[in-house]
Amino acid sequence: MARPSLREKIIESGVQTIHERGFAGAGVREITADAGVPQGCFTNHFRSKEAFGAVVLERYHERTQAIMDETLRNQTLPPVERLRAYFAAITQWLEAASWRYGCMVGNMSLEVVEQSDLLRAHLVEICASLTQSFAEAVRSGQAADQIRDDLDAEDVAAFLLSSWQGAMMRMKVERSGKPIEQFNRVLFSTVLAAPKGA
Amino acid sequence: MARPSLREKIIESGVQTIHERGFAGAGVREITADAGVPQGCFTNHFRSKEAFGAVVLERYHERTQAIMDETLRNQTLPPVERLRAYFAAITQWLEAASWRYGCMVGNMSLEVVEQSDLLRAHLVEICASLTQSFAEAVRSGQAADQIRDDLDAEDVAAFLLSSWQGAMMRMKVERSGKPIEQFNRVLFSTVLAAPKGA
C-alpha cells in the first residue's frame, strides 16, 4: 500500500489537532508538529489556515456522513429508531475520541463565523444537510404514525439540530455525559413522542 | 458624577469587544484600543487576559441576571409566561447588540473551556444558576397544572438551557432569527405544553 501523502498526513492529524485545541488554538506550528512534518510543508499543500480549516471540516463531516448512513438514513430501522441510533452513535464516537472536545461543527460554529465567510459557508451547508436528513426521518415517522404529527417536520428538524448541538456544548463544558442523557430523556418523550392515541 | 475609572472603562468596553471578536480574537491591543486607553494600562488593572475574561463574563452575566429578575423570576407572571418572556427578552437584547454575535456564555463555552479552568469554572457556575431558575419556573408551572408534569423538572431545565444555547448558536451561524422562532414554536407546544386534559 502506498504511504499516505504528506497532504493526507497533515489533514488526518489536523482533524484531531483542531478538534482538541480549537481552530484559533491550533497554529500551523502545532498542526505540522502533531503531523510530524516540517512546518514549511504546510504552505506547499494549503493556501491558508482558513483553506485548511475548510478541508478539515469536510473530512470531519465525511465521518459523520458515514454514521448518518448507518443510522439516520437506514431505511431498515423504524424512523424514530433512526434518530435514536444517530444520537447514540455520535455520542459513542465523541466519547471514543474524548467527548470533552465536543462536536467540531459546533465548536467551529461559535469560533470562526465572524472571522471567515468561507468556513461559515461550509458550516451552513453541513448543517443544512443534517437538518434535511432529520426532516426526512421525522416525516417518515409522522407518516408511519410513530411520531406526533401536529408539528411541522422542518421546524422539528431545525429544533433537533440546535438542541443536539446545545447538548453537546453542555457536555463539553460540564465534562459529563449527563446533558446528553437529559436531552434523550426529554426529547423522545415530547418532541418525538408517538401521536396521541397511537 | 465621577468619571468611570479606567478599570471600569476597560471592562465596559471589553464586554463588547469580546462579544464581537470572541475571546481569542480580542487581544489586549484590541481591548485597550476599543476602550480608548493606553495598552500599558491593562496590566495595572488585570493580572492576565484570563482574569479579565472572568470579569467580563461576570459583567455579562449581571446583565442577564437583571433580565431574569424581570422575567424568569417574576412571580406576577404565570410560570410558562415567565419562560416565554425570558427567551423573548434575551432575543430582543441580543438583537439590539446585533444578534450575529450570539450569546457570550455559549461562545466562550466552546472557545475557552479547554484552555482555562478559571473561565470554565465561571461558565459552569453561570449555567448552574440559570438551570436552577429554569427548574423553579418549570416546577411552579407543573404545580399550577400549566406545564405537563410527566417529566422531571431538573431534566426539563437542563434541556431548556442546552436547547436554548443551541438555538442561539444556530442564530449566530445562520445570521437569522429563524432558529429562535423554531425553538419557540416547538418548545412551547411540546416540552412546555399544558398537561393532557388541562
The tens digit of pLDDT for each residue in B60-72 reads 999 999 999 999 9
Q: How far is B197 from chain A (nearest CA, A)?
A: 12
- C-alpha cell, A83: 434518530
3-state secondary structure chain A: CCCCCHHHHHHHHHHHHHHHHCCCCCCHHHHHHHHCCCHHHHHHHCCCHHHHHHHHHHHHHHHHHHHHHHCCCCCCCCHHHHHHHHHHHHHHHHHHCCHHHCCHHHHHHHHHCCCCHHHHHHHHHHHHHHHHHHHHHHHHHHHCCCCCCCCCHHHHHHHHHHHHHHHHHHHHHHCCCHHHHHHHHHHHHCCCCCCCCC
Q: Is residue B7 part of a domain?
A: yes
Q: Is residue A72 part of a domain?
A: yes
pLDDT classification of A95: cutoffs 50, 70, 90 = confident
Nearest CA in chain B to A171: B162
CATH of the domain at B169: 1.10.357.10
Tell me, yes or no, whether A78 and A4 share the same domain.
no
Q: Note whether A122 and A57 are within 8 A (CB).
A: yes
How many interface pairs between A and B have CB atoms less than 8 angstroms apart? 158
Other CB atoms within 10 A of residue A136 CB: 16
Tell me, yes or no, whether A95 and A32 share the same domain.
no
CA distance linking residue A148 with residue A142, whole number of Å: 6
Q: Is the pTM of this model over 0.90?
A: yes
Coil, helix or strand for B85? helix
Nearest CA in chain B to A179: B158
CA distance linking residue A62 with residue A190, whole number of Å: 31
Q: Report the residue from B114, B123, B124 with minimal CB separation from A22.
A: B114
Tell me, yes or no, whether A77 and A34 share the same domain.
no
Q: How far is CA B198 from CA A197, B79, B139, in A?
A: 17, 15, 16
**Nearest CA among B189, B87, B183, B168 for reference residue A160:** B183
Q: How far is CA B161 from the centre of its chain?
A: 10
- C-alpha cell, A36: 510530524
**CB-based contact (8 Å) between B163 and chain A?**
yes
Residue B116 has pLDDT above 70, yes or no: yes
The predicted structure's pLDDT at residue A118: 96
CATH of the domain at A33: 1.10.10.60
Chain B interface mutation, best of A173, A174, A185, highest count of B Cβ atoms under 10 Å:
A173
CA distance linking residue B123 with residue B130, whole number of Å: 11
Other CB atoms within 10 A of residue B38 CB: 11
**CB-based contact (8 Å) between B150 and chain A?**
yes
Mean pLDDT for the stretch of residues B124-131: 95
Give chain A positions within 8 Å (CB) of B107.
Answer: 110
Tens of pLDDT, residues A13-56: 999 999 998 898 899 999 999 999 999 999 999 999 999 999 99
Give chain A positions within 8 Å (CB) of B183.
Answer: 159, 162
**CB-based contact (8 Å) between A166 and chain B?**
yes
pLDDT classification of A1: cutoffs 50, 70, 90 = low
Residue B1 has pLDDT above 60, yes or no: no
Nearest CA in chain A to B152: A186
Name residues 76-95 of chain B within 8 A of A (Cβ): none
Tell me, yes or no, whether A89 and A129 share the same domain.
yes
Domain residues for A76?
Answer: 57-189
Q: Note whether B14 and B51 are within 8 A (CB).
A: no
Coil, helix or strand for B105? helix
Tell me, yes or no, whether A79 and A159 share the same domain.
yes
Counting the structural domains of chain B, the total is 2
Q: Is residue B51 part of a domain?
A: no
Give chain B positions within 8 Å (CB) of A193.
Answer: 190
CB contact under 8 A, B124 and A162: no
DSSP label at residue B128: H
CB contact under 8 A, A158 and B178: yes
Q: Is residue A198 part of a domain?
A: no
